[in-house]
Amino acid sequence: MSARADALVETELERQFLDQLRAASGEVDGPMERHCVRLFLFAEMLAAERGVEIDRELVLCAAFMHDAGLYDSISHGGVYTDEGGEHAARLFERAGAPPERVRMIADACAQHHALRDQSRRGTEVELMRLADRIEALMRANRGSGASSKRGIARPLSQSVLKIRGRLSGRWRSACASSPATPE
Ligand SMILES: [Fe+2]
């Protein structure tokens, strides 16, 4: 079965992360998987918009695993964002990733709900955080839409509009869908 996520996978490690997400969630191309795909696409587009290069494998793997701590097979009863990061870090370690990449993927998952800029932890960490906020804003816009026009949300709202304008037909449906989206 081919899903949108399969089309993004280019490396063995990315395949491993997607397989683990599917094993944990118990489904292929389910709401969580589509949420993860959207996060990756938003992060990638934000990077392009800002003209920064990213560690694509790290961002895609982080996107697949960032909420995986919600699942019993991965959680040990702790903070789910931390547990997703710890699990992702173990997989990177096992794959022979250098300590800095291991630390970065742990932070990209663990800090995706952080309220403040995480650029000091790495571009990929900050982009995952912003991508998650875009996802939340899009969800809010499908509801009242009122909260996205104020304060800190405004720059991201502008990014949402730009991103909507740039989405190719292939991805538009992925980003416009409104599944019962996890956080
Ligand atoms: Fe999420």
Give the integer Cα–Cα distance in Å for 52 and 57.
Answer: 15
Ligand 1 centroid–CA 125 distance in Å is 14
- Distance CA(158)–CA(35), nearest Å, equals 20
Asked whether residue 50 is domain-assigned, the answer is: yes
For residue 138, what pLDDT is reported? 82
pLDDT at 140: 79
The residue to which tokens 């804003």 are assigned: 137
Quick one: pLDDT at residue 65? 96
The count of domains in the chain is 1
Confidence of residue 4 (pLDDT cuts 50, 70, 90): very high
- Whether the predicted pLDDT of 165 surpasses 90: no
| Residue 126 pLDDT exceeds 70 | yes
Whether 183 is in a domain gets the answer no
Supply the mean pLDDT for the chain.
84
Q: Residue type for 180, please? A: A
Separation of CA 98 and ligand 1 centre (Å)? 26
CATH of the domain at 49: 1.10.3210.10
pTM of the predicted structure, to 2 decimals: 0.81
Quick one: average pLDDT of 127-131?
A: 96
> Which residue type sits at 168?
S
Quote the domain boundaries for residue 10.
Answer: 4-175
d(CA 99, CA 63): 19
Q: How many residues are listed for the chain in this entry?
A: 183
Name the DSSP class of 12.
H
pLDDT of residue 139: 80
SS3 content of the chain, % helix, strand, coil (to 5): 70, 0, 30
Domain-embedded: residue 180: no
pLDDT, tens digit (0-9, with 9 covering 90-100), for 45-91: 999 999 999 999 999 999 999 999 999 889 888 889 999 999 999 99
> What is the spatial distance between Cα 170 and Cα 85, in angstroms, rounded to a whole number?
30
Is the pLDDT at 97 greater than 90? The verdict is yes
**Higher-confidence position of 147 and 6:** 6
Among 162, 154, 151, 126, CA closest to 52: 126
Span from the CA of 67 to the centroid of ligand 1 (angstroms):
5
Distance 93 CA to ligand 1 centre (A): 23
Tokens of 13: 């490690």
The predicted-structure confidence for 26-58, as pLDDT tens digits, reads as follows 999 999 999 999 999 999 999 999 999 999 999
